[in-house]
Structure 1
Amino acid sequence: MIIANRTDIGRVRQVNEDSLWVEQLPSGIVAAVVADGMGGHLAGEVASRMTVDSLQATISGAAAGLTNEECEALLQTAIKQANEVVYTTASSNEQYSNMGTTVIIALVEGERAVIAHVGDSRVYKANADGLVQLTDDHTLVNELVKSGQITAEEAAVHPRRNVIMRAVGTDPEVSADVSFYTLSPSDILLLCSDGLTDMVSHEQMVETLLTESLDLDGKAERLVSLALHAGGDDNITVVLLQGDANRIEGGTLQ
């Protein structure tokens, strides 16, 4: 598995509230996590880092060959434990009151990718057929779009487009959406915070991810650069994963 990742504070924020973790585990499974924190002064940074640290502690021992049901149970347990850590900290410390974070997790073993998410950070799959979003935003505007009350175009400029309906740490309990996908060696998985997707168009992401002249590391670098060039209004985090069966050059082999 080839791995590339970048995180950037952006051009507006005073602190980077995004956190990430990506690693090939002793079992051979590749695990990747992106969390986008929210809250008052430094609280978002604390929430995202606590969540990533908790998830890493739980997931690092994942065994190879787990069934889909076992993978889902592992990820739900990991997210519930992270939620408890963040919620307890927020409830007992006034400075962290109401802090929370989005989170996306990808576990890749062979051709199988297991995706879990809470919030509006996203996972995409890119290949010669284009770019497909694999996660469903837990946002107010997405619920309005799904119910037919507004269009996708209206959602993009809606005044409450940043209202998140589900997050880690904001409530005593949380449940993730978990889904399963089959990957081919040429597929690229993109995990990202909304600092990328709010700034970079679908077409720009497709063009970047399918550019043959760039290795995986170069693609991650270009995606972040595009977001910065568009204004960099938020923290930007990108993780790219791609199978190496075709001996694709570049990236970071973990």
Structure 2
Amino acid sequence: MDQISLAVNGRTDIGQVREENEDSIRWHACADKPFAYIVVADGMGGYTGGATASKLAAETIQTHLDNLLKHTFIACSPEQQQLILRATLIDAINNANTALLNTKNRNPQLANMGTTLVVAVMWHNLLIVAHIGDSRAYLWNNYGLQRLTRDHSVVQEMLDSGQISPGQAKQSGVRNHITRALGVSASVEAEINSWKLTENALLLLCSDGLTEYLDDHAIERILATHRPALECVYRFIDDANKLGGRDNISAGILEYASRPLPRMHIEEQNITQRPRSPDVTVRKLQR
């Protein structure tokens, strides 16, 4: 069995152009259990609407995750825990979507609001990521950088169908047009995937205010070289601002570290009584 250490950090920034920050971010690492999460939401629909949508979504997801580690969850098998984690994320996302729709109904001035969402949850070595829209999750380890999410966007669909090249996608006038969001329709379909981590890794969650300026190569270079690792969030935001900062920028880092538990030291004892039979001695040492 390995000893797992989880640490998280996050930051959101208004950028250089916007008058209000429509991003929201939440993060948490449990002090006494191998449990941590990051939530990033990028709101849309005008200054007040976008900020309201992202905050409401992030707070709803946060509340569900903060209530997860109840006695029944801890007592379950790893297979059951994985199912519970997935079901919790689905319920949280559906409840966030309902909360946004109800808020819009009560406040006509917020009729156009909505938000993207990306959330990552770690429990022991299990990683679960859910996302809606174009906020992203990346995993970096000694094998390099892996993008864990695929944008729900018009440009991504054009890339998938071969209509445009990656170079053309960066210049596209519709690169910020998303095809899925929270708070837009009565039902919402999040994409949810899970992985078992087998080595030390860094997880990055971010809004498109970061990926607008930093491509995968730039992200990988920072994650691979900037230490302490949790301070990458400041480096990411500083770099995006230096390159223009036209949008709000949010970044969250989760550091996963695993090492073998130290082997128990068995001291030899002097036995003065009558020697035991070999099989009894073996049983005693293995107890």
TM-score, normalised by the number of residues in structure 1: 0.91
State the match for 1:126 in structure 2: 140
State the match for 2:184 in structure 1: 170
Amino acid at match of 1:172: A
State the match for 2:122 in structure 1: 108
Question: How many angstroms does 1:225 deviate by?
Answer: 0.9
Closer, same or farther in 2 for the Cα pair 1:195/1:2, shift >3 Å?
Answer: same
Contact 1:124/1:190 (CA < 8 Å) preserved in 2? yes
The separation in 2 between residues aligned to 1:12 and 1:120, in whole angstroms, is 20
CA deviation vs aligned residue, 1:165-189 (integer Å, no higher than 9, x gap) = 0000011110110001122442100
Higher helix share: 2
The separation in 2 between residues aligned to 1:196 and 1:184, in whole angstroms, is 28
State the match for 1:4 in structure 2: 9
Question: How many angstroms does 1:27 deviate by?
Answer: 5.7
Contact 1:9/1:235 (CA < 8 Å) preserved in 2? yes
Contact 1:20/1:34 (CA < 8 Å) preserved in 2? yes
1:79-228 matched pairs, under 5 angstroms: 79-211=93-225, 214-228=227-241
1:53 and 2:67 aligned: no
1:14-33 matched pairs, under 5 angstroms: 14-25=19-30, 28-33=34-39
Coordinate RMSD, CA, aligned: 1.8
The separation in 2 between residues aligned to 1:142 and 1:224, in whole angstroms, is 24
CA deviation vs aligned residue, 1:47-69 (integer Å, no higher than 9, x gap) = 00001111112221213444433
TM-score, normalised by the number of residues in structure 2: 0.81
1:35 and 2:41 aligned: yes
The separation in 1 between residues aligned to 2:8 and 2:248, in whole angstroms, is 20
Contact 1:3/1:241 (CA < 8 Å) preserved in 2? yes
The separation in 1 between residues aligned to 2:84 and 2:231, in whole angstroms, is 35
The separation in 2 between residues aligned to 1:169 and 1:127, in whole angstroms, is 35
1:62-73 matched pairs, under 5 angstroms: 62=68, 63-64=73-74, 65=78, 66-73=80-87
Contact 1:185/1:242 (CA < 8 Å) preserved in 2? no
Amino acid at match of 1:4: N
> Which sections of structure 2, spanning at least 5 residues, go unmatched?
1-5, 260-287
Contact 1:3/1:239 (CA < 8 Å) preserved in 2? yes
Larger Rg: 2
State the match for 1:13 in structure 2: 18
- Identity of paired residues, percent? 36
CA deviation vs aligned residue, 1:58-94 (integer Å, no higher than 9, x gap) = 2212134444333222211110000000012113312
Contact 2:209/2:245 (CA < 8 Å) preserved in 1? yes
The separation in 2 between residues aligned to 1:135 and 1:146, in whole angstroms, is 14
Contact 1:4/1:216 (CA < 8 Å) preserved in 2? no
The separation in 2 between residues aligned to 1:156 and 1:68, in whole angstroms, is 37
Amino acid at match of 1:30: A
